[in-house]
Structure 1
C-alpha cells in the first residue's frame, strides 16, 4: 500500500504499522489504538515507540500526528523585560 508521507493520517499510520503490533509495542489495548484513530491524534508519550516502528519500515513519523504541547510564553520573563524596557522608564 502506498502512503502519501506528506499527508499521512493517524489511521494510515496505524494501517502501515499494524494495530496489533502497535498495541503490543506500546503496552496498550487495541481499543486505545482505535481511539487514537477515531480522534486522529496520538498521545505524545507514544512518539518514541512509533518513531522507531516507522523507522523499521522506512516511513516518516510526522510530529503533527501527536498531541505535543505548544510552548507557553513565560510571563515572569516577559514582565521583567517590560519593566526594564526604556519605553517603560525601567532601569
Structure 2
C-alpha cells in the first residue's frame, strides 16, 4: 500500500510543526485521509519541509489542474466593425 503524499509529510515533519503553522487537528486529519493539503498551505508547509529536510512534492497539495494552454486559448473575437472610436476622424462624424 502506498502512503499518501500528505501523510508522508505529516509523519516526517517534527511533532507539532503543522500546528505551529496554524493547522488544526481537523485539517491535519483531513489531509492525512485525502492525501492532500489545501493549496493555500503550500508556502508555509514547503518552507517547514525545507527546514526539516523533508520531501514536499507538489502532489501533496490540491492545486487546481490546468488544461493544455493550447486547448484553453480562445481566438480573438473577430470584429466586423473596423472603426476606431478613438480616431479623430470617427469623433468628427459622431
Q: Specify if TM > 0.5.
A: yes
Over the aligned positions, Cα root-mean-square deviation in angstroms equals: 2.6
Contact 2:17 2:48 in 1 (8 A): no
Give the structure with the larger helix fraction: 1
Contact 1:19 1:33 in 2 (8 A): no
Structure 1 stretches (4+) deviating beyond 2 angstroms? 71-75
Q: Check 1:60–1:17 CA distance in 2 against 1; reply closer, same or farther (3 A cut).
A: same
Runs of 5+ unmatched residues, structure 1:
1-6, 84-91
- Pick the aligned partner of 1:9 from 5, 10, 17: 5
Runs of 5+ unmatched residues, structure 2:
79-94
In our comparison, the structure showing a higher alpha carbon Rg is 2
TM (norm. structure 1) is 0.65
Q: CA deviation at 1:36?
A: 0.7
Q: Check 1:10–1:52 CA distance in 2 against 1; reply closer, same or farther (3 A cut).
A: same
- Pick the aligned partner of 2:37 from 42, 54, 73: 42
Q: Residue 18 of structure 2 aligns with which residue? A: 22
